[in-house]
Amino acid sequence: MKIEDITPQYIQAISPYIPGKPISDLAREFGLDESTIIKLASNENPLGPSPKALAAIAQAAAELTRYPDGAGYDLKAAIAARFNVKPDQIVLGNGSNDILELVAHTFLRPGLSAVFAQHSFAVYPLATQAVGATCIVVPARDFGHDLDAMRKAVRDDTRVVWLANPNNPTGTWIPAPQIRAFIASLPADVLAVLDEAYNEYLAPELQADTAAWIAEFPNLIISRTFSKAYGLAALRVGYGLMDAGVAAMLNRVRQPFNVNSLAQAAAIAALADAQYVADSCEANRRGMRQLEDGFRKLGLAFIPSHGNFISVDVGDGARVNLSLLKKGVIVRPVANYAMPKFIRVTIGTEAENARFLAALAEALVE
């Protein structure tokens, strides 16, 4: 007997998550000097963390022998004040990935199903399959969510709909009124998980107060993260906003100390550092224009993006990705998102973007 054989079939069937390649891996594989490698593969903030977050971490480091506050009192208070919700409507996560997992563990099981869009975030199928539930993948429309088709795909056994807005890896975005109407159209026993990992990057005129919707929809869970615009991906901290009753259910399956104390302290400081987020968004807008202009000059089609990344059609994503790796540029191939012609590139600093565009121009003619 092999232990693999007693693993539930639905676990054996999972295709593992493929992360962006770490710089140290590439250096080892191709014998490159780490300092010459740029990584534009995981939608990290190219500015580095907020100095205020770093100062908060240094202070919190003195208490490393203590368990973190499992209830996250101070961080919840800060989030509650920012979004005008109550602390008991917030669940903290070890990254927002943790929130998605908590939803799956709490509400899905074998015999139930979850609906999500084609070309949507890889964690939705992972979280769904990990608890033996069925994935219902709805074909995209112009690379974005087809909400009408997603609504029709909801079955009696559906308990969760995963929605990414903006979506990763396509960068597509749906206006708030359409998302709201979709949520309102769902049966009361179907949870809408509105994943807003890239919300902070939306242009101000596109921002909507989605947090206000949770008072209206007890079946709505909004997830947010400190990994992207707040620049704290390594610390793993995110949160969900939801009805207090739903939060109480998620908290039953949450690890008691799932968010460490450095992450909590840094997140509080980052949330208060509005200038850092504004600077990050401004740098992102400039970088996005730089890459779009570069793609136009190279005659490449791209999907207009509302995130801090952009997917571009390079004809053969696997080939171009390998060529870029050899030049010390790490981007994300997205064949596993059914987009084999594309690569996804994170907006970097101006110098990183220029280096990527130059390497891409070479890779295309090799």
Ligand X SMILES: *Cc1c(COP(=O)(O)O)cnc(C)c1O
Taking CB under 6 A as the criterion, the residue among 153, 164, 229, 334 binding ligand X is 164
Cα separation of 274 and 284, whole Å? 15
Taking CB under 6 A as the criterion, the residue among 83, 121, 230, 342 binding ligand X is 121
Cα separation of 191 and 183, whole Å? 9
The CA-atom distances, in angstroms, between 296 and each of 60, 333, 345 are: 47, 20, 15
Q: By C-beta, is 180 or 228 nearer to ligand X?
A: 228
- The span of 13-21, 90-98, 145-153, 328-336 binding ligand X (CB under 6 A) equals 90-98
- Asked if 70 and 193 count as a contact pair (C-beta separation under 8 A), the reply is no
Q: By C-beta, is 43 or 45 nearer to ligand X?
A: 43
We find the least distance from the C-beta atom of residue 4 to ligand X, in angstroms, to be 28
Q: By C-beta, is 96 or 305 nearer to ligand X?
A: 96
Spell out the long-range contacts of 63-68 with Cβ–Cβ below 8 A and sequence spacing 24 or more: 63/261, 64/261, 64/262, 66/261, 67/257, 67/261, 68/257, 68/259, 68/260, 68/261, 68/264
We find the least distance from the C-beta atom of residue 301 to ligand X, in angstroms, to be 22
Interface with ligand X in residues 1-40 (CB under 6 A): none
Does residue number 124 form part of the binding site for ligand X (CB under 6 A)? no
Helices of type H across the chain: 3-6, 9-12, 23-30, 51-60, 73-83, 96-107, 123-130, 147-153, 176-185, 244-253, 261-272, 274-297, 317-326, 350-365
Taking CB under 6 A as the criterion, the residue among 26, 43, 53, 291 binding ligand X is 43
- Binding marks (x or -) toward ligand X, 223..252, rule CB under 6 A? --x-xx----x----x--------------
- The span of 30-38, 129-137, 183-191, 220-228 binding ligand X (CB under 6 A) equals 220-228
We find the least distance from the C-beta atom of residue 121 to ligand X, in angstroms, to be 4
How many chain residues bind ligand X (CB under 6 A)? 14
CA nearest 250: which of 85, 91, 127, 96?
A: 91
We find the least distance from the C-beta atom of residue 3 to ligand X, in angstroms, to be 29
- Asked if 211 and 84 count as a contact pair (C-beta separation under 8 A), the reply is yes
Burial 305-316 (b: 16+ CB within 10 A, else e): bbbbbbbbebeb
Cα separation of 348 and 296, whole Å? 18
We find the least distance from the C-beta atom of residue 88 to ligand X, in angstroms, to be 22
Cis amide leading into 166 (omega within 30)? yes
Q: By C-beta, is 233 or 300 nearer to ligand X?
A: 233
β-strand partners of 343 = 312, 333
For residue 218, how far is the Cα from the chain centroid? 23
- The span of 11-19, 89-97, 316-324, 354-362 binding ligand X (CB under 6 A) equals 89-97
- The span of 73-81, 93-101, 243-251, 270-278 binding ligand X (CB under 6 A) equals 93-101
Taking CB under 6 A as the criterion, the residue among 95, 144, 328, 348 binding ligand X is 95
We find the least distance from the C-beta atom of residue 195 to ligand X, in angstroms, to be 5
- Both tokens assigned to 255: 């690890």
Does residue number 97 form part of the binding site for ligand X (CB under 6 A)? yes
Taking CB under 6 A as the criterion, the residue among 89, 113, 168, 284 binding ligand X is 168
Does residue number 197 form part of the binding site for ligand X (CB under 6 A)? yes
Interface contacts to ligand X, rule CB under 6 A: 43, 95-97, 121, 164, 168, 195, 197, 225, 227-228, 233, 238
